[in-house]
Structure 1
């Protein structure tokens, strides 16, 4: 017998029991009862960074497109960054294409390389002219401005050499010695006529202790004015490309004689007469060879007589050198060799040079030959 429920009481369930759900709503994994911001797409961030830096613009453009696809599929944020990165990369890519097409990339890369390596020679090449920020080619400098050789300029590069060595800097003296040894042959090749270097001295850019650590091994051989207050004007290059056959024949003969004259012994005749006699015989021999070469050449109109007059003086000097070679004492040697030197760089030589269109001002000890001034950078 069942007892009816009191009035107003809830009705019992129709089944044997009733399942009651949890009193609060549950949230599935990955959801929250509170609103959370969607994560930023990492690829979009990378695209923006590459677009701003422009190191590899193509990569920034590709990453921007990938980021947009991921953002659309995953519902992430960062769409603005992806678009900005793609646009900036597109602009950078266009600039790179223009730079490569116009050939400007090589200059940019050279400047970047010089800046990172601390290159003392600034990658200057033979034939280039430049200005330095300071008032002198001596001392330290950290930059140069390449300019045309036609106008005024501080220096002209006539060659470059590379030093060998390990990681340890060999020292300033070693750099100076290498420059003096290796720049001289390049100087003689670049300027065949030493008389053309009136008022010109030799300088160089060489590595410093700091730039050596960056791999700098280059020495730039440079012409500059002997007067710090003056500049050079026009290129000093006088080589086979700018000289005619007559000029080359004349310079070949004069250079051969000068080379032997420069071999004068360090010992005085009174200390070593035999060595000086041997040298005098060499001078006598080379004068015979070169006067024969000058006489055998066919000269242009207007140059025959001036060259013939010079050859006559050289033959007279040759006789004096023969006497010096046979001198029995130092006094006789001094007298004969002094007479033999008489024609060198004299008025007859100047006249012959003028007729051939060559420089007519002999180089002095003050203006030429005192080079080797170090300009470390």
Structure 2
């Protein structure tokens, strides 16, 4: 979901003009109007161009979360807000604008990876928060704009507090999250275009190999972490890795399905809850993941 952002600034009404606009009204109405004017002035003072956003900024969009944006309202993270910038990177492309679909594809690929460096435990994100990004438009590209700002934004309502967790994690927590995230990234990033295995056996086998390789790394990482539940999870994922390898080496569609069913079940996020609890990580499976495995 690209949030388009051409190079323009937002001009707001000054506090003085807002106060003068109150006019001759009753005392209570004047008080309400003054308070409203102060709130309006505060919002104006907090306006910042989308081109000067920094990682860690908490903000409220001016209007809908999606669409063309010129500026946002920057707020302290301990106040209710709709979004937070969690990553930023520059598009390394040629002189030609990649097109709307092109920059969206880059955001789709890079933002999940970059965002996890700031907030590695996606299970700990507030309910209803999704990954969005600000990208260049054709017009801003012509002025030299190449920046993509990745944000977690509430699809409804607001949330409080910073989403940054990377700095507070212990080494074993980081190892677990990086390797676990890589497994699911391998699964979804390598999803074949065809819905049926019969129509793209090679594509599904390639996906299976990517997941198996990621699982091998995850199992190796778990070997360096102490804990009874972590040990149980390591055994579960070792078997799952074997099933994914069988799927990757399947000679035909039937053999693939025989291996794929237990392979997919073996990486069900619900199987990781006990180990996550032991490691002091979030233990509630996100709704979107729970829905996938329930279906």
TM-score, normalized by length of structure 1? Answer: 0.54
Distance 1:151 1:284, change over 3 A: same
Describe how 1:228-377 pairs up with structure 2 within 5 A: 230-239=157-166, 241-262=167-188, 263-267=190-194, 268-295=196-223, 297-299=224-226, 304-365=227-288
- Once residues 350 and 287 of structure 1 are traced to their aligned partners in structure 2, the CA distance between those partners, rounded to angstroms, is 17
Aligned-pair CA distance for 1:222: 1.7
Q: State the shift of 1:338 in Å.
A: 1.4
Distance 1:159 1:314, change over 3 A: closer
CA–CA separation in structure 2 for the residues paired with 1:210 and 1:232 = 33
Q: Which has the higher helix share?
A: 2
TM-score, normalised to structure 2, is 0.67
Within 2, Cα distance between the matches of 1:156 and 1:283?
A: 31
Asked if 2 retains the 8 angstrom alpha-carbon contact of 1:307 and 1:352, the reply is: yes
- CA-to-aligned-CA distance 1:279-309 (integer Å, 9 cap, x gap): 43454454344323312x142xxxx111112
1:11 corresponds to which residue? none
The SS at the match of 1:146 is strand
Query: Compared with structure 1, are the counterparts of its residues 290 and 223 closer, same or farther at alpha carbon in structure 2 (3 Å cutoff)?
Result: closer
Contact 2:59 2:73 (C-alpha < 8 Å) held by counterparts:
yes
- Structure 2 unaligned regions, length at least 5: 1-44
Distance 1:174 1:186 in 2: 18
Q: Give distance in 1, aligned partners of 2:230 and 2:237.
A: 10
Please give the per-residue CA displacement for 1:199-257, whole angstroms capped at 9, x wherever unaligned: 22122334456656766554332210122xx1122111232x22101201212331343
* Structure 2 contact 112–131 (Cα < 8 Å) conserved: no
CA contact (8 A) 1:201 1:367 kept: no
Give SS of 1:233's match: coil
1:172 deviates by: 4.3
Q: Distance in 1 between matches of 2:182 and 2:258?
A: 24
- The answer to whether the 8 A contact 1:270-1:329 is kept is no
Maintained 8 Å contact 1:343/1:349: no
Cα–Cα, structure 1 residues 280 and 179, in superposed 2: closer, same or farther, change >3 Å? Answer: closer
Given that 2:83 and 2:153 are in contact with CA atoms closer than 8 Å, whether structure 1 keeps it comes out as yes
Task: Return the offset for 1:159.
Answer: 2.5
Query: Shift of the alpha carbon at 1:336?
Result: 1.8
In 1: Cα distance, 2:106 partner to 2:202 partner? 33
* 1:131–1:153 Cα contact (<8 Å) kept: yes
Q: CA RMSD in A?
A: 3.5
Indicate if the aligned counterparts of 1:150 and 1:234 stay in contact, CA closer than 8 A: yes
- 2:240–2:267 Cα contact (<8 Å) kept: no
Separation (CA, whole Å) in 1 of partners of 2:219 and 2:169: 21
- Which of these residues, 125, 138, 142, is aligned with residue 66 of structure 2? 138
Per the alignment, residue 86 of structure 1 pairs with none
Contact in 1 for aligned 2:179/2:214 (Cα 8 Å):
no
Answer whether contact 1:190 1:237 (CA < 8 A) is retained: yes
Give the corresponding residue for 2:7. none
Which has the greater radius of gyration?
Answer: 1
- SS of the residue 2:198 aligns to: coil
Inter-partner Cα distance in structure 1 for 2:256 and 2:266: 17
Q: Per the alignment, in what secondary structure is the counterpart of residue 199 of structure 2?
A: coil
